């Protein structure tokens, strides 16, 4: 029986789906460091992680039997994607499932910061009755600047506008404005015009250090700042300095450059204890609804890959989905050079089979072809396919029920 290992407290629905797909599933609550992960992957076919476990090239090199990794979250910067592709490991994530949860948290934090609810809460818990409107504002009529107008940023745009905010956005790629949102042609333009700035960019290496002292200084005096995106985007020392100086009136941070590995570990940050600063432990997508949807979505992608070779929405392999059924199916991940498909089909014919259905897709240096044939797959054919000099990984699938 193939085996799956799920780390970081992935929703039980993933266990149910993978078990029903024929996997022996082990589930653990915490993340693992590199050495422990290599040891834990002995005999494991599928790995499920969230944001803290790092799947490095060394991990992949030590465990060549691993066929797929599911990132039960949005980001995949914790996985060495080029190494995964080169090893023929399919990687899937959940780019949409927790969008609403992140957006709702951003809206809640914008309102809380504008009303200085954190300060009011702390004062009252300390026994101080401070009933005052000083420093408390409505968000209606104020200008929100969204850096990164993808799935989360664009949905936040719609909700913020429905609450009466003016919306600006900046993105490296051309994006269609939703509602009355207005595009800014540079980050500097957005910072100079917005009263609240929120980051929603991806985890590409080029975004590291995106926001530092220069960007905070360019923001409007007494503006608000949020980062629910990636921890390595922001210089927290610079943010602290601008909060203490009063230039930034409040901030909400959900992600950090270094985060504890497991529940109960100590959290350290220069942002602790600052006035009107909301710190949350990377819970932007951590609602029960989102975690259920993520578990169902990613586990479904892993099951589809292992049952039929489907790679739709994979972030490491070419996207292929071959519909229909036949007597047998195989998938060949190969180096993307001319003539491979012709050799595959010639081998099929040499072994007395016809191709009933076939789909080929390429991505960069890789090609991926899924082929249905009209009879059982002879061991000699499989050996010949595996022995092609271009072959990276050969997969076979049971006949349809």
Mean pLDDT computed over every residue of the chain:
95
Helix (H) or strand (E) holding 362: strand 355-363
Summarize pLDDT for 282-309 with one digit per residue, the tens. Answer: 999 999 999 999 999 999 999 999 999 9
CATH of 99-279, one of 1.20.1250.20, 3.40.50.720, 3.40.47.40, 3.40.50.2020: 3.40.50.720
CB-based contact 259:282 (threshold 8 Å): yes
* Fold entry, domain 1-97+287-317: Rossmann fold (3.40.50)
Q: Cβ atoms within 10 A of the Cβ of 266, count?
A: 5
**401: pLDDT strictly greater than 70:** no
Summarize pLDDT for 230-248 with one digit per residue, the tens. Answer: 999 999 999 999 999 999 9
Nearest by Cα to 116 from 221, 252, 287, 306:
252
Rounded CA gap, 214 and 263, in Å?
A: 35
CB-based contact 184:194 (threshold 8 Å): no
Q: Provide the Cα torsion 31, 33, 35, 38; round to 10°.
A: 40
| Domain spans of the chain, in order of start | 1-97+287-317, 99-279, 320-401
Tell me the pTM. Answer: 0.84
What is the crossing angle of helices 288-308 and 99-115, to 10°? Answer: 160
CATH of 320-401, one of 3.90.1170.30, 3.50.50.60, 1.20.1600.10, 3.30.70.260: 3.30.70.260
- The catalytic residue positions are 230, 259, 282
| CA-to-CA dists, residue 329 to 58, 170, 171, angstroms | 31, 46, 42
Q: Supply angle C-alpha 172, 71, 62, rounded to 5.
A: 115
Rounded CA gap, 40 and 37, in Å?
A: 5
Over residues 200-208, mean pLDDT: 88
Q: DSSP letters along 251-284, please?
A: EEE---SS--SSTT-----TTTT-TTEEE-SS-T
Summarize pLDDT for 125-145 with one digit per residue, the tens. Answer: 999 999 999 999 999 999 999
E strand map for 29-77: 46-49, 68-71
Residue 268's Cα: distance from chain center in Å? 24
- Residues 6+ positions from 76 with CB-CB distance below 8 Å: 91, 93, 203, 315
Domains 1-97+287-317 and 99-279 share a fold: yes
**102: pLDDT strictly greater than 70:** yes
pLDDT band at 165 (very low <50, low <70, confident <90, very high): very high
Over residues 249-255, mean pLDDT: 97
Q: How big is the chain, counted in residues?
A: 401
pLDDT band at 400 (very low <50, low <70, confident <90, very high): low
pLDDT band at 326 (very low <50, low <70, confident <90, very high): confident
């Amino acid at each position: 029986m193939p085996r799956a290992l799920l780390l970081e407290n992935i929703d039980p629905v993933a266990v149910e789906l993978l078990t029903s797909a024929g996997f022996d599933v082990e589930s653990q609550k915490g993340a693992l460091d590199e050495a422990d992960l290599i040891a834990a992957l002995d005999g494991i076919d599928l790995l499920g992680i969230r944001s803290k476990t790092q799947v490095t090239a060394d991990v992949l090199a030590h465990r060549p039997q691993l066929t797929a990794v599911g990132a039960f979250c949005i980001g995949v910067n914790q996985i060495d994607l080029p190494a995964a592709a080169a090893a023929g490991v399919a990687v899937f994530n959940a780019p949409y499932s927790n969008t609403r949860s992140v957006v709702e948290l951003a809206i809640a934090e914008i309102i809380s910061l504008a009303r200085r609810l954190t300060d009011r809460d702390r004062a009252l818990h300390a026994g101080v009755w401070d009933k005052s409107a000083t420093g408390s504002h409505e968000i209606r009529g104020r200008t929100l600047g969204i850096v990164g107008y993808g799935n989360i940023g664009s949905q936040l745009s719609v909700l913020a506008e429905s609450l009466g905010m003016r919306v600006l956005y900046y993105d490296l790629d051309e994006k269609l404005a939703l509602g009355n949102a207005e595009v800014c042609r540079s980050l500097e333009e957005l910072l100079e015009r917005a009263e609240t700035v929120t980051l929603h960019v991806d985890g590409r290496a080029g975004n590291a250090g995106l926001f530092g002292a220069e960007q905070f200084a360019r923001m409007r005096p007494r503006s608000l700042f949020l980062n629910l995106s990636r921890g390595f985007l922001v210089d927290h020392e610079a943010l602290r300095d601008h909060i203490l100086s009063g230039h930034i009136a409040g901030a909400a941070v959900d992600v950090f450059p270094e985060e504890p590995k497991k529940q109960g570990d100590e959290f350290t940050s220069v942002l602790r204890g600052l006035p009107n600063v909301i710190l949350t432990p990377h819970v932007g997508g951590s609602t029960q609804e989102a975690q259920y949807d993520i578990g169902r979505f990613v586990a479904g992608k892993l099951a589809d890959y292992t049952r039929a070779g489907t790679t739709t929405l994979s972030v490491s392999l070419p996207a292929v989905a071959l519909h229909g059924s036949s007597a047998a199916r195989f998938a060949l991940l190969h180096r993307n050079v001319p003539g491979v498909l012709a050799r595959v089909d010639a081998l099929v014919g040499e072994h007395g089979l016809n191709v009933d259905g076939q789909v080929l897709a390429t991505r960069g240096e890789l090609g991926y072809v899924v082929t249905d044939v009209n009879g059982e797959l002879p061991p000699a054919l499989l050996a010949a396919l595996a022995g092609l000099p271009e072959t990276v990984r050969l997969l076979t699938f049971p006949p349809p029920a």
